[in-house]
Structure 1
Amino acid sequence: MRLRRSRCLTCYWHEGAFVVHPHPHGTSMELHPAAAEILTAFDEWSTPDEAAGRLGHLTPDTIEEAVAALVDAGALLAQGSTAARRDELIAGQWGAWMPEASFFHYATSDVYDGHPAGDAPAPPDGEAGDPAGAEAPAGPLPPLFTSHPAAPRVLLPRRPAELRTPLGEVLYDRRTHRDFTGAPVSLDTLAALLAAVFGPVDFIDCGRGALYRRTSPQGGSRQEIDAYVGVLGVSGLSPGWYHYNGLLHALELLSEGFTPQDAAHLCADQSWAARPAFFVVLAARLERMSVKYPTPRAYRVCLLDAGHLGQTFALTATALGLGPAQTGAFRDSAVAGRCGLDNTGHTPLYVLAAGHPEPEARDAPPPAGVAAFEATTLVAP
């Protein structure tokens, strides 16, 4: 039998043990660190005897025992097997993103397998369905709102947003903008946008205390996403970085000074990022989610929650006459530093922006014509 090391394989130390974790097939297994050396001998299809020839300092019994364990775990795959064919297919599909993305996706998949229908995890507070698997043990809940009490505060106007534009019009007018006029956004408009997207709508009793809901769906109503605002051109506000305190409807000044050049640098040197009037960094406070959901799948929910807020931001900005933008390309550590985040339990996930859009966007793509469709495969042959 010829064997090869799985291409979809991650090894790591966890709680003092060396873990071999193939994905999506196989199971994680604690093994002696020598297993890594044995796996190296199976970089290409080999028989156990051929691999043993590359491992002359190990006894045949040690190799035989290790090979059996690695085959059983799915870390070594038999040539021609279904698992080997799927391993090659996944490696081809995920290749550019391996090992980080494929491991996270598959290692957090199928967390509900093994739960009988009557023994499934309980639904999360305030939402239907369970986004993250088994619940964490009961313990003290973290604060619902983030606050910087020592920071200078700007109390924002409490005028409700004029969101009277028909929903259909907002949906179809929503576009990502990269060109802005440079005219400042009014403080009223920014305040209305922040309140509509990030402010509390109501409060609910989860059985252990109160939680709040926003206009976006959030897993278990944990509201683990905080909003940090980078101001370039907002009337009545000095350029700088602020935290939006949703409980007080206030901006808390964290650091003074912010330039278009700073903005472009933070957004991975994208030139358009020098032009919006303001930015909003969505940062996850992980303890709010992990205190209820201890499984790693809950991090998927944090990413989805950021996406929900990003879409609500884009639609609300459009309804207010602004041009929204968003990007996942940013310098994580630098952005965390400007927002005063520790980048461990409180870390940036997504960067949003907005400003007054140029009537004629310079970089807008043209409509697709005949030539474009002739060069496009719309359906498989």
Structure 2
Amino acid sequence: MLISRANPLLIEWADDSWTIHHVRAETSYRVSRDVLRFLECVGDGIGIDDLPKTLDEDQAVIDEQVRQLLDLGVVRKDMADPGASESDVVLRSLGMTAKHFHTATRDANFLITDSADSIEYSKKVSGEGRPSFTKEYPQAPLLPLPRVFASLNMNLRDVLQGRRTHREFSSEPVSIDQLATALHYTFAPLRFTHNEYWGTIGLKASASGGARNEAEAYVVPLHAVDADVATDTDTVPG
């Protein structure tokens, strides 16, 4: 039987140990130098019968190592073997940054727990101060938006079924009420909540991990008519 290393396969040194990441595996694995040496010998393809003389190990030991690594998905049956699976072209086409981002974030713990470590971490970070809800541009003129919003009476099913990405637009004007409505329901806080460690948190319709809302909206009007821009440079509440 021919075997080869899984591709793509990421190996990194972290927390005083070697860790193997593979996008098809459900988790990452800490391994010894012997495993790395084994994978180096396997390369892009080698027969199991050729491994003992390469690694100076008994065939029984080699067979057990191959079995374990096949189960983990780190090693696979080579494409020349009739029992091998088809190559995943999408995974091979990913850049190294994309592969590392995928493996580095998939095991992240986003769950909110009451563990002592979580509480201690929250206290530490909250002591550093929370950034402002909005980014301010003191020298820029302001356009206060109306609080009377345009009607939103379309059926949710019709909205979902009719969603499309548009790259060509008509010259039909957008009213200030329509603009205010779109910005309000996409980027403005719709409600607020209070957290023991983080204080007041704005909750928006757009999803954001931890309600951090790092994204900003920029409106670029191609032609504005009758826009009363305020001369006051104070921040308008969002």
Question: The TM-score by the shorter chain falls in which range?
Answer: 0.5 to 0.7
The residue number in structure 1 matching 2:46 is 45
Higher alpha-carbon Rg? 2
Tell me if structure 2 keeps the 8 A contact 1:185–1:235.
Answer: no
- Counterpart Cα distance in 1 of 2:132 and 2:151: 27
The residue number in structure 2 matching 1:233 is 222
The residue number in structure 2 matching 1:162 is 150
Q: Structure 1 residues 102, 38: CA separation in 2 closer, same or farther (over 3 Å shift)?
A: closer
Tell me if structure 1 keeps the 8 A contact 2:8–2:91.
Answer: no
Q: CA RMSD in A?
A: 4.8
Q: Structure 1 residues 202, 52: CA separation in 2 closer, same or farther (over 3 Å shift)?
A: same
- Counterpart Cα distance in 2 of 1:51 and 1:42: 15
CA drift of 1:204 comes to 0.9
The residue number in structure 2 matching 1:203 is 192
Please tell me whether residue 213 in structure 1 is matched to residue 203 in structure 2.
yes
Q: Structure 1 residues 65, 11: CA separation in 2 closer, same or farther (over 3 Å shift)?
A: farther
* Paired residue secondary structure (1:197): helix
- Counterpart Cα distance in 2 of 1:217 and 1:8: 31
The residue number in structure 1 matching 2:140 is 152
The residue number in structure 2 matching 1:91 is 88
Identity of aligned residues (%): 19
Tell me if structure 1 keeps the 8 A contact 2:3–2:46.
Answer: yes
- Counterpart Cα distance in 2 of 1:48 and 1:104: 37
The residue number in structure 1 matching 2:5 is 5
Tell me if structure 1 keeps the 8 A contact 2:4–2:43.
Answer: yes
Please tell me whether residue 176 in structure 1 is matched to residue 172 in structure 2.
no
Please tell me whether residue 60 in structure 1 is matched to residue 56 in structure 2.
yes
Q: Structure 1 residues 103, 150: CA separation in 2 closer, same or farther (over 3 Å shift)?
A: same
Tell me if structure 2 keeps the 8 A contact 1:23–1:107.
Answer: no
Tell me if structure 2 keeps the 8 A contact 1:18–1:33.
Answer: no
The residue type equivalent to 1:60 in the other structure is: D
Q: Deviations over 1:126-167 (max 9, x none)?
A: xxxxxxxx9582223432524234452424222332124332
Size of the aligned set, in residue pairs, is 212
Tell me if structure 2 keeps the 8 A contact 1:202–1:212.
Answer: yes
Q: Structure 1 residues 94, 215: CA separation in 2 closer, same or farther (over 3 Å shift)?
A: same
The residue number in structure 1 matching 2:181 is 192
CA drift of 1:48 comes to 6.5
- Counterpart Cα distance in 1 of 2:87 and 2:103: 11
CA drift of 1:215 comes to 2.8
- Counterpart Cα distance in 2 of 1:173 and 1:107: 35
- Counterpart Cα distance in 2 of 1:174 and 1:13: 45
CA drift of 1:50 comes to 4.6
The residue type equivalent to 2:44 in the other structure is: D
Tell me if structure 1 keeps the 8 A contact 2:187–2:217.
Answer: no
TM-score norm. by structure 1 comes to: 0.42
Unaligned runs of 5+ in 1: 54-58, 113-120, 125-133, 239-245, 250-381
Q: Structure 1 residues 36, 234: CA separation in 2 closer, same or farther (over 3 Å shift)?
A: farther
The residue type equivalent to 2:75 in the other structure is: L
The residue number in structure 2 matching 1:278 is none
Q: Give runs of aligned pairs for residues 271-350 of structure 1, distance below 5 A.
A: none
* Paired residue secondary structure (1:140): helix
Q: Structure 1 residues 103, 149: CA separation in 2 closer, same or farther (over 3 Å shift)?
A: closer
The residue type equivalent to 1:47 in the other structure is: I
Question: Normalized per residue, which structure has more strand?
Answer: 1
* Paired residue secondary structure (2:147): coil
CA drift of 1:231 comes to 0.7
- Counterpart Cα distance in 2 of 1:162 and 1:179: 23
Tell me if structure 1 keeps the 8 A contact 2:3–2:42.
Answer: no
TM-score norm. by structure 2 comes to: 0.60
CA drift of 1:228 comes to 3.1
Q: Structure 1 residues 11, 68: CA separation in 2 closer, same or farther (over 3 Å shift)?
A: farther
Q: Deviations over 1:326-364 (max 9, x none)?
A: xxxxxxxxxxxxxxxxxxxxxxxxxxxxxxxxxxxxxxx
CA drift of 1:190 comes to 2.2
- Out of 203, 213, 228, the residue aligned to residue 224 of structure 1 is 213
CA drift of 1:89 comes to 5.1
* Paired residue secondary structure (1:212): strand
Q: Deviations over 1:20-39 (max 9, x none)?
A: 32343374225449937952
* Paired residue secondary structure (2:125): coil
Tell me if structure 1 keeps the 8 A contact 2:52–2:62.
Answer: no
Q: Structure 1 residues 6, 202: CA separation in 2 closer, same or farther (over 3 Å shift)?
A: same
